[in-house]
Amino acid sequence: KAGVTQTPRYLIKTRGQQVTLSCSPISGHRSVSWYQQTPGQGLQFLFEYFSETQRNKGNFPGRFSGRQFSNSRSEMNVSTLELGDSALYLCASSLGLAGLATDTQYFGPGTRLTVL
């Protein structure tokens, strides 16, 4: 089975711009979660999508948004970029079934975003 894929792998933007990152989950996985990784804050949860609906959200400003398509692929968007948004953005997919018994989040290689 193919793993989680993320595009692009690297991105350079300037302050004030917006950016869209893409994530394709493992086939059959319906849940996609996004995490931000920075040296200072570590790995932080952004949001989770399941069946095209945002099911869970972390403590990030509204500039961070996402969506999920009917094929479970997900995109996240960051508007009005700030220098502090420079980070590795990781996407994880899981089956998304109710309860925790069968679910493990599998991560993609990440998109490294640099804001100048």
Partner 1 sequence: AQKVTQAQTEISVVEKEDVTLDCVYETRDTTYYLFWYKQPPSGELVFLIRRNSFDEQNEISGRYSWNFQKSTSSFNFTITASQVVDSAVYFCALSEVGSGAGSYQLTFGKGTKLSVIP
Which of 25, 26, 36, 48: binder of partner 1 (CB under 8 A)? 48
In this structure, the strands spanning 10-13 and 74-78 are: unpaired
Cα separation of 85 and 89, whole Å? 10
Residues of span 62-101 touching partner 1 by CB under 8 A: 88, 90, 92, 96-101
Nearest approach in angstroms of CB 94 to partner 1 is 9
Sole window of 14-22, 56-64, 71-79 interacting with partner 1 (rule: CB under 8 A):
56-64
Q: Is the dihedral of CA 68, 108, 25, 22 positive or negative?
A: positive
DSSP letter, residue 51: T
112 binds partner 1 (CB under 8 A): yes
Cβ closest to partner 1, residue 66 vs residue 110: 110
Residue type, 53: T
28 binds partner 1 (CB under 8 A): no
Alpha carbon distances (Å) from 74 to 51, 58, 61, 84: 10, 17, 19, 23
> Residues interacting with partner 1, by CB under 8 A?
31, 33, 35, 42-43, 45, 48, 50, 53, 55-58, 88, 90, 92, 96-101, 103-110, 112
